[in-house]
Amino acid sequence: MYIPITLLTKLTEMVFSSAPTTFPNHTLITLNDGGFIPSPAFGVGSALYQKNATEDVVLALKNGYRHIDNAAIYGNEESVGEALKIAKVPREELYITTKYDGGDVRTEFELSLKKLGVDYVDLYLIHFPKFADAGGGIKTVWREFERLREEGLAKSIGVSNYGVIELTELLLLAKIKPAVNQIRYHAYNAKENAPLLALAGLNDIVIEAYSSLSPITKFPGGPADPIGERIADRISTVSGGIKVTVAQTILDWLKTKNIVAVTTSGKDFRQKEQLQVFQESFPPLTEEEIKEYEEAGPGWDQQ
């Protein structure tokens, strides 16, 4: 089921606007709790899993990233905290996300704060549904999340890797709706995730996407490749001859759909290239390009 971008925008009723001076390299998306979330986020999972992330995060902050996406299970919250100390970016100019991975919610949350060296986080997510089950069940865990939100310790709360069934269950019991659902999302699984995006849109839940560059990093040679190349050529032309990469078109696809991009790179030029997409002047994809890209090869990553 393909959802036209015009319908998706109408369903979500989200404000997608250029960022204020505190987030000059990002685009902001309004959350259902009245807050906002900057895109892109610099993720310290995947390539930095269980590794020291200090050097990469310091470089990202130097290049203008202000949203850092972390999780307890990544095993590098302390090194991220060290990067924050080194970079000395004012706390109010940072957006810090981390994730709950089981155990007593309050205990685990306070441990994350200590490791990160901050007094609050901007977004706290349940990393996987199974971690809520291990923490006493979704009702128990979410009530604790709501308390953290009410106390201002977590400015926004949400989930990660929740499907339609799990998200529906949560919505039925939540006093405070999740503001975000972070999922694995790319061209080859976009079509199967359309019902999940529709449910999120109806409840003003922002989608965050990780592994979105998979068509070129993990599954090269697929049917999305030539489409991405054509889009890159088109945007390069309308941008005055600036050479646009296929990776940038993928991030632009997320931006056009009001989806927060979670991406990472330890390379200076890649970080700058990725941030360039989120400037107001970077042209969006057309509705036709979005449809063509998402219908290129559903399930190709399972070939």
What tens digit of pLDDT does each residue of 41-70 get?
999 998 888 899 999 999 999 999 999 999
Residue 101 pLDDT exceeds 60: yes
Q: Residues 67-89: pLDDT tens digits? A: 999 999 999 999 999 999 999 99
CA-to-CA separations, 104 to 101, 110, 149, 249, in angstroms, rounded: 10, 10, 16, 41
Rounded distance between C-alpha atoms, residue 33 and residue 3, angstroms: 24
Amino acid 133 reads D
Whether 65 is catalytic is no
Residue % of the chain over a pLDDT of 70:
93
Residue 8 pLDDT exceeds 50: no
Rounded distance between C-alpha atoms, residue 58 and residue 87, angstroms: 6
Look at residues 118, 116, 166, 120 and name the one whose alpha carbon lies nearest to residue 141: 166
Q: What pLDDT score was predicted for residue 46? A: 81
CB 41 within 8 A of CB 53: no
H/E element, 117:
none
Residue 138 pLDDT exceeds 80: yes
CB 181 within 8 A of CB 160: yes
Catalytic residue among 26, 67, 127, 186: 127
Whether 74 is catalytic is yes
Look at residues 89, 84, 79 and name the one whose alpha carbon lies nearest to residue 25: 89
Partners of 183 in the β-ladder: 209
Q: Residues 198-233: pLDDT tens digits? A: 999 999 999 999 999 999 999 999 999 999 999 999
Q: Supply 64's token pair.
A: 């203008």
Three-state DSSP class for residue 261: strand
Instruction: Assign domain 5-216+257-282 one CATH number from 3.40.50.720, 1.10.357.10, 3.90.1490.10, 3.20.20.100.
Output: 3.20.20.100
Catalytic residue among 65, 67, 74, 186: 74
Residue 12 pLDDT exceeds 50: no
Rounded distance between C-alpha atoms, residue 201 and residue 197, angstroms: 6
Rounded distance between C-alpha atoms, residue 113 and residue 115, angstroms: 6
CB atoms within 10 A of CB 199: 18
Rounded distance between C-alpha atoms, residue 39 and residue 14, angstroms: 14
Q: Using DSSP, how many helices (H) and how many strands (E) does the chain show?
A: 13, 11
Q: What pLDDT score was predicted for residue 21? A: 60
Side-by-side strand order, sheet with 36-39:
16-18, 27-30, 36-39
Identify which has the larger pLDDT, 300 or 5: 300
> So where are the chain's domains?
5-216+257-282
pTM across the whole model: 0.92
